[in-house]
Amino acid sequence: MLNMDIRKIASTAMGGISIFASCAFAQGASQTDKNTPEAEGWTERESLFLAAAAEDISKDSGFTPSLNWTGEIWSNVSDGRDIHTIADSLFTLGFEQDLSAIGKTDGLGRIGISAFYYAQTNNGELRGFDSSQGCFSNIVAGDMARVFEIYYANEFETAAGNIGFRIGQLAADEDFMGMDYSDVFLNSSFGAMPNVAPGQLFSQYNVATPGLVIYYAFNNFDATFGVYNGNIAQDISSNNGFDYNNVFDTVALWYQLGYNYEIGGLGGRVMFGGNYHSDPSKINFDAIDAGSFYSFYFGIQQTIVNNSDGDALFGVYTRIGIVPDSKASDNNFYADFGFNWFGPIPCRSDDIFAVGFSVIENERAARSEYAHYDGALEITYKCQLTPAISLQPDFQIFVNQGGGNDSKAAYIAGARLEVNF
């Protein structure tokens, strides 16, 4: 079984590498043939070949394709020589089509679709790891191919501000909870907060659901509101993305308010939001005695130092998530905080060194006289090899994983390679 898993990962990885190699060779040959100053080499492109190919077909087509490959390797190094290692691989593909480019009329909006294929060794289980503090990787899923988001979107400019919306099959974490300075981390808890957005209740990677999101922005203020199907599909390999069941017999609501500010030339952002689920019991969510679920979250990020060009050099952030009703969750409090150091090495201005720490209250453990909190520390360095290729070594420490008295700290080391084709 392990050999089969390894072959599966290897074939997926080799697919990504072969596409990369072929496009690199093609780009190099093309650049040599043209021999013009305008010819852009593959080392300078944010997309290795798809964006250029779409533009070659028609510069005014309004068609924007995307194809990305992410490969990872993770090891639990907690027990010295007894090191357990897994590997995983994710292909994501999709497109957006500007309908105004087709209809030759402004204001028609755009349509988009995304899908992914994920494969892993050992069913993604890393021996000795068990934490309520999120997963060490934010791309982990089951072995599957799945349609993710499908939507229609449009925006309108008015004197009172800009208004936009997306409608279709959506994931809530695409529009809520995120902050720029938390995006670099690989631990999943730095994305969708584990207590604010339990995967069984709210749509997020890797299960989307029917919904509507409305955006509003005026000057430095922005607001986002969303309504989603509350009975999301199960995250199982047989779900191809359309495994709906009793759509909208329960409802999930989201809201978020944000404000961008500047102090002494240093940019910052503050946000406040929350969500509500009308009936967790209908999807067998372990909500104890609660008839509904609701939570709040707060976040702030602040640039501390700018470089000579006025761009951020060092910045910090924090987020806090609270579930007020102790009957609705065993994890009533969550917080994470960290810093980003941009361009820490001279002549490598696009690299990022980041350190983040997260902590979550484990109420069930507290009731059992176990440790009250689980914690996780992540140290990561994202090396931008080219605009389209990055390599990111990563190290994480999980404290009191699982909340038991006999819980040991877990030390997880890994690396991620991302290629935007």
pLDDT at 16: 44
> Three-state SS for 387?
coil
- Indicate if the pLDDT at residue 166 is higher than 90: yes
Residue type, 212: L
185: confidence class by pLDDT, cuts 50, 70, 90: very high
Residues 272-310: tens digit of each pLDDT = 999 999 988 777 655 555 678 999 999 999 999 999 888
As a whole number of angstroms, the distance between CA 388 and CA 6 comes to 26
> Among the listed ranges 66-80, 153-167, 259-273, 355-369, which one has the minimum average pLDDT value?
355-369
How is residue 39 annotated by DSSP?
Answer: P
As a whole number of angstroms, the distance between CA 219 and CA 326 comes to 38
How big is the chain by its Cα radius of gyration, in Å? 22
Q: In percent, how much of the chain has pLDDT > 90?
A: 58
254: confidence class by pLDDT, cuts 50, 70, 90: very high
As a whole number of angstroms, the distance between CA 319 and CA 338 comes to 10
- Indicate if the pLDDT at residue 173 is higher than 60: yes
Residues 126-155: tens digit of each pLDDT = 876 766 566 899 998 878 899 999 999 999
pLDDT at 405: 55
As a whole number of angstroms, the distance between CA 380 and CA 414 comes to 10
Query: Of 47, 44, 46, 64, nearest to 55 (Cα)?
Result: 64
370: confidence class by pLDDT, cuts 50, 70, 90: low
- Using CA atoms, how far residue 40 sits from 35, 321, 379, 384, in Å, is 10, 45, 34, 18
Element of type H or E holding 294:
strand 293-306
Residues 306-343: tens digit of each pLDDT = 998 889 999 999 999 999 987 777 788 999 999 999 99
The answer to whether the CB of 297 falls within 8 A of the CB of 182 is: no
φ and ψ at 109, to 5 degrees?
85, -165
Element of type H or E holding 367:
helix 363-367
As a whole number of angstroms, the distance between CA 264 and CA 108 comes to 41
Q: In percent, how much of the chain has pLDDT > 70?
A: 82
Average pLDDT on 108-123 reads 93
- Indicate if the pLDDT at residue 364 is higher than 60: no
pLDDT at 408: 75
Residues 54-75: tens digit of each pLDDT = 777 667 889 999 999 999 999 9
> Among the listed ranges 48-52, 209-213, 335-339, 350-354, which one has the minimum average pLDDT value?
48-52
- Three-point CA angle 257, 253, 158, nearest 5°: 45
- Indicate if the pLDDT at residue 90 is higher than 60: yes
- Indicate if the pLDDT at residue 176 is higher than 80: yes
19: confidence class by pLDDT, cuts 50, 70, 90: very low
- Indicate if the pLDDT at residue 47 is higher than 70: yes
* Domain residue spans of the chain: 2-420
CATH class given for the domain over 2-420: mainly beta
Residue type, 57: I
Average pLDDT on 216-242 reads 89
As a whole number of angstroms, the distance between CA 400 and CA 397 comes to 10
pLDDT at 18: 43
Residue type, 302: Q
- Indicate if the pLDDT at residue 39 is higher than 60: no
The answer to whether the CB of 318 falls within 8 A of the CB of 300 is: yes
pLDDT at 38: 56
- Indicate if the pLDDT at residue 200 is higher than 50: yes
Give the distance from CA 70 to its chain's centroid: 12
Average pLDDT over the chain reads 84
pLDDT at 381: 98
Element of type H or E holding 115:
strand 110-120
> Among the listed ranges 22-26, 74-78, 178-182, which one has the minimum average pLDDT value?
22-26
> Among the listed ranges 66-75, 78-87, 373-382, which one has the minimum average pLDDT value?
78-87
pTM of this structure: 0.86
